[in-house]
Amino acid sequence: MTDFSLIETLRFEPDEGFVRLKLHLARLRRSARRLGFANPERAESELEYAIKGATSPLRVRLTLDRNGAIAVTNAAFTPLAEDTVWRVRFAQTRLSSEDKLLRVKTTRRGIYEAARAEYPATEIDEVLLLNEKGDVCEGTITSIFLDDGSGTLKTPPIACGLLAGVLRTELICQRRARVARLSPDDLARGQLYVGNSLRGLIRAQLGV
């Protein structure tokens, strides 16, 4: 398949600039190299141009197509309150652990959109997906983390069929999280979190 672009969604804060910028750019370059896309050498300068003069938090979305064309858009962003708890449920839609494209962030999002459509947005904040083996993978827009009381968050391995999230990468590098296969039953035995680079870690409550 070639009819997709790579995506990076970043958070911009006026006082600190782009949050986790180096990790986002590293993932973009790595994904482009792996898929044979042109090198995104202008990505950082395009991002800086897009937020020139900004005085409030922004959600910034960058896309890179196979030929190296970059497009950047931004929108106002309101950070979540610290005490936010998201309502989450599992989808019937399943991911395939054999689908290598799930490991990179692209505009190919049909399976995530199908999972999200299983529940009304007024009732659920995020939908979690399993793979064909029943392993916990990720949310439609978030990585999954479990606090089981061991002192280190657990997060599913990429081999299960999921995105190498930027927040996930940061937490693993900081040794605040480690890779471990998780089952739905595991999530019921600890404190569940979901999160991404834009929103950070979010406490979550799993519905039935």
Binned at pLDDT 50, 70 and 90, residue 1 comes out as low
Q: Mean pLDDT across the chain, nearest whole number?
A: 96
Half-sphere exposure of 115 (CA within 13 A, CB side): 24
Binned at pLDDT 50, 70 and 90, residue 52 comes out as very high
For the residues 76-82, what does the mean pLDDT come to?
A: 95
* CA–CA gap between residue 71 and residue 5 (Å, rounded): 10
Binned at pLDDT 50, 70 and 90, residue 33 comes out as very high
Write down the pLDDT at residue 208: 66
- Asked if pLDDT for residue 29 goes beyond 60, the answer is yes
Domains contained in the chain, CATH given: 6-76 (3.30.470.10), 85-206 (3.20.10.10)
Who's near 197: CB < 8 A, 6+ residues apart? 9, 10, 11, 19, 20, 23, 24, 165, 166, 167, 170
Question: What angle do helix axes 166-173 and 21-35 make, rounded to 10 degrees?
Answer: 110
Write down the pLDDT at residue 81: 95
- Alpha-carbon Rg for the chain, nearest whole angstrom, is 17
Nearest to 199 by CA among 51, 86, 114, 66: 86
pLDDT 10s digits, 150-190:
999 999 999 999 999 999 999 999 999 999 999 999 999 99
Write down the pLDDT at residue 2: 62
* CA–CA gap between residue 43 and residue 178 (Å, rounded): 30
- Asked if pLDDT for residue 3 goes beyond 90, the answer is no
